[in-house]
Amino acid sequence: MIDKKKHICLFIPLLHTGGAEKVIISIANWLASRDIVVDLVLLRKEGVLLKEVSPDVNIFFLGSKRLLSSPPKLFNYLRLRKPTVLLSATTFVNIVAVFTSWISFSSTRIVVTEHSNIDMSVQDQSKNFSMFFELMIKFLMRFFYKKASNIITVSKGSANSLSKYINIDINKICVIYNPIYTEDMMKLSFSKMNHPWFSCKKTPLVLAVGRLCRAKGFDTLINAFHIVKKSRNARLVILGEGSHREQLETQISNLDLNNDVSLFGQVENPFAYMRNSDLFVLSSRWEGFGNVLVEAMACETPIISTNCFYGPSEILEDGKWGKLVEVDNPQELAKGIIEELDKKHQSNLSRAKEFSTDIACESYYSVCFPKR
C-alpha cells in the first residue's frame, strides 16, 4: 500500500541527455533510497539515460507521441496513483502538469522547476514561430505557474528573471542549485582513455561539452580557437550532439581546423575526458545554471567561462574558481584560453562538493514534503 504522505511523481517527457533530465534522475534515485514511493512519468520508453534510473523507482510510460497529447493520460495517472506531490521540469512540461492537475481537481501538490534562462530560451524558440508564440507562452506561464504549490529555479539569476517574466513575488520562488557532485563521478573520471589525443597527450587539450545549438556558443568558441592556433599549439574537443552539427563542421573546415578541432558526439563517460583535459571552456550565450562547470571542477580541470546569464558567475563566485569572459567575444575568449593554458591552477574540487547530490536533494525533499 502506498504511503500517501511520502509519494512523489516526477514528470519529464523523455530521458535523453540533458541537464534537467540528469537532475530529475538524481532526485528520483535519492528519494527512492530514502524509502519514499517514487514514480517517474515519461511520455515513452525512450532515452539513453533510462539505464541510470534506480530499480527502486517506478517508471510509467504514458504512450504519448507529443507532450501536447499527454494531458488525458497524465489525468488518468493522477486519478489512479494519487501522488502527494508532482514535480515537473522545464517550461512546457510545467504548464502541462499544472493544467492537468487543475482540470482533474487533484489534491496533488504541484512543484514546478525552471531550468532555463526563461527570457532567452523563449525568445530563441519564438524565432521559429512568431511574436504571438512568445506572448502565448508568457500568458500561460503567468496563469499556470501561479497555481503551482511551489516554484523552484536553479540559480538566483534565473529566479530574478522568472519573477519579472511572470510578474510574481521573488520571495515565492525557491532557488536550489542542481545536484551535480557524486563520488561515482570522481571514480568515473579516472577511467582509462583510449583516444590518442588523450592517451598519448603531447598537445594541450581544450574541452567543451553541451548540445550543439545556438545557446552553447560553440561557433564563438571555434572562432576563438582559430585565434589561439595562430600563437600556440593546442587541440579542441567538443562533446555533444545537436541541430548545429553540420553548421559547426562547415565552420571548422572553412577555418582549416579539421586536424585540431573534433566534434566527438555523445560519449558515455564525459568525466574521463574532463579530467584528462588541460582546460574546460563554457562558451554559452545563456544558461539556466551550467551543470558542466561543476562537473569540470569535480574533475579538477581549470575553467574559463562566458559570464552569461545565468549561473556561471554564481558557480564560479565571480571568477574565484575560474576565469569569466564576455559573451560572444572570440578575441577575449582566445586571450583567456591562452592565459589559462599557461597558468598553474589550484584544485577547485572543494567548490564542486558544495553542489553535491545530498545537499540539493535535501532541499528538494524539504520543498516537496514540508513540515506541517
252-274 pLDDT, tens digit each: 999 999 999 999 999 989 999 99
Per-residue pLDDT, 18: 81
Do 4-179+357-368 and 183-354 come out as alike in CATH topology?
yes
What is the rounded (10 degree) CA torsion for 267, 183, 199, 316? 80
Per-residue pLDDT, 202: 85
Q: Which of 292, 368, 337 shows the shortest CA–CA distance to 86?
A: 368
d(CA 94, CA 99): 8
Task: Give per-residue pLDDT as tens, 300-356.
Answer: 999 999 999 999 999 999 999 999 999 999 999 999 999 999 999 999 999 999 999
Residue spans of the domains in the chain: they are: 4-179+357-368, 183-354
HSE toward the beta carbon, residue 164, CA cutoff 13 A: 8
Q: Which of 239, 244, 222 shows the shortest CA–CA distance to 296?
A: 239
Q: Picking from 114-118, 123-127, 161-165, 243-247, which range would have the lowest pLDDT averaged per residue?
A: 123-127
Residue 79, pLDDT above cutoff 60: yes
Assess contact for 164 and 255: CB atoms under 8 A.
no
- Which amino acid appears at position 168 of this protein? I
DSSP lists the bridge partners of residue 324 as: 305
Reported pTM? 0.91
- Percent of the chain exceeding pLDDT 90 equals 88
Mean per-residue pLDDT, 188-194: 94
- The pair phi, psi for residue 42, each rounded to 5°, is -125, 160
- The pLDDT mean for the chain works out to 94
CATH class of the structural domain 183-354: alpha beta
Residue 189, pLDDT above cutoff 80: yes
Residue 1, pLDDT above cutoff 70: no
For residue 3, name the pLDDT band (cuts at 50, 70, 90). Answer: very low
371 conformational bin, left if phi > 0, alpha if psi -120 to 50, beta if neither: beta
Cα distances (angstroms) measured from residue 213 to each of 86, 129, 161, 239, 263: 30, 17, 22, 12, 13
Q: What's the CATH code, domain 4-179+357-368?
A: 3.40.50.2000
Strands (E), the chain: 7-11, 37-42, 58-61, 85-89, 109-114, 150-153, 173-175, 205-209, 235-239, 261-265, 279-282, 303-306, 323-325
